[in-house]
Amino acid sequence: MKLPLGIHVGERLSLEQTYWQAELADRNGFESVWVAEGRLARDGIVPAAVIASRTDHVKIGTGVVNNKSRNAALMAVTFKTLDELAPGRAILGIGAWWEPLATKVGQPLRKPIASMREYITVLQTFFRNEVVSFDGEFVQMQDVRFDSMYRENKPVDIPIYIGAVGPRMLELAGEISDGVHMDFLLPPSYLTGAKEAIAKGIAKRTDGKDSIDLTQIVACSVNDDDPQEAIDACKAFLTLYLAQQPHIAEHCGVERELVDRIQERAGWPATPEAIKKAMPLVPNELVQNVTACGTTAQVFDKLMEYHEAGVRCPIISTLGDKEQTLTRLAQAAKD
């Protein structure tokens, strides 16, 4: 592929669609498949394991799991197991979850930078196959390591990507992780400040690395017969995001007043009918600034814009006509 691409799969897809997209990616030279786990809709690890068993080449990442709901030791051994299924292909994408869901399930976000640092430090020690003793504010371990009763334990090479948006988390990613897996709905212009924050973190590294990877999920919808339908598919998604995860608004250039109006019209939790009522509040220009939608050419040009801004590998999240979107972008990336 002249442009490296990945695919983002998650709760909006059926499992059948999820596996179809992953297998298409594997056959068509895509670099990676990233399995989302955000809402209380579907676990991310089970589909990732199935994808690992049904593919041969693509890397399988979580895009992302959170550092709240799984003990760090369980997370480490989970990815050790995924590496057994797909040697050298597993990527641990991890984020700090989001509000208000975290509070609603009794895990409110508190000191997200400090808790992420502790969690990843422990994961990396496990992956080196070392004994882990750690007495942190958020993570505690006492003389534990991977169990060697049944098979020889060795270090496992599991890259860790932080799902980061804000400058402090981006800086932490630059300091301690292997990559950044950036979220939806951030315009290419956001990459300027993001790369500066990452560079600040890289300057603090003690392992000699002078760069880390940068991927970003991009909501994509292709319709060559009716480009506005493709735009509307992304508009519905943006409207939902602003209604239920409003923290993204400041990063994608949306005024608080518009968010308030969307939330008032959409309610909580936002239903598909409520989102349709709120969509007219969102202009096409805003949608096309933070997503890739329209004709095949328009969408591919937008992906190239992200790439040229610093995203090494854009990660496609299909909306609207998912089959048309994925197959036409796969062909465009080869041409």
Which pLDDT does position 63 carry in this prediction? 95
CA atoms of 66 and 281, how far apart (whole Å): 32
The position carrying tokens 């930078």 is 113
Compute CA 108 distance to the chain's CA centroid, rounded to the nearest angstrom.
20
Which tens digits make up the pLDDT trace of 95-154?
998 778 888 888 888 999 999 999 999 999 999 999 999 999 999 999 999 997 888 889
Structural domains of the chain, with CATH = 6-221+292-334 (3.20.20.30)
pLDDT at 22 over 70: yes
pLDDT top residue among 27 and 38: 27
CA atoms of 179 and 83, how far apart (whole Å): 18
- Give the other-Cβ count within 10 Å of 53's Cβ: 9
Single-letter amino acid, residue 113: I
Which pLDDT does position 99 carry in this prediction? 77
Give the relative orientation of helices 15-27 and 45-54 as an angle to the nearest 10 degrees: 40
pLDDT top residue among 249 and 176: 176
Percent of the chain with pLDDT over 90: 83
Which tens digits make up the pLDDT trace of 268-301?
888 999 999 999 999 999 999 999 999 999 999 9
pLDDT at 248 over 80: no
8-state DSSP, 271: P
In which band, very low, low, confident or very high, does the pLDDT at 244 lie, cut at 50, 70 and 90? Answer: confident
What value does the mean pLDDT take over residues 17-28?
Answer: 96
Percent of the chain with pLDDT over 70: 100
What value does the mean pLDDT take over residues 213-235?
Answer: 97
What value does the mean pLDDT take over residues 46-69?
Answer: 97
CA atoms of 115 and 234, how far apart (whole Å): 33
pLDDT at 241 over 90: no
In which band, very low, low, confident or very high, does the pLDDT at 1 lie, cut at 50, 70 and 90? Answer: low
CA of 192: how far to CAs of 84, 140, 186, 334, in Å? 38, 37, 11, 28
Pick left, alpha or beta for residue 143 (phi over 0 → left; psi -120 to 50 → alpha; otherwise beta).
Answer: left
Cα distance between the two ends of the chain: 8
CA atoms of 287 and 188, how far apart (whole Å): 13
CA atoms of 1 and 42, how far apart (whole Å): 31
Which tens digits make up the pLDDT trace of 69-95?
999 999 999 999 999 999 999 999 999
Please provide the average confidence, as pLDDT, over all residues in the chain: 94
CA atoms of 239 and 236, how far apart (whole Å): 5
Which tens digits make up the pLDDT trace of 161-183?
999 989 999 999 999 999 999 99
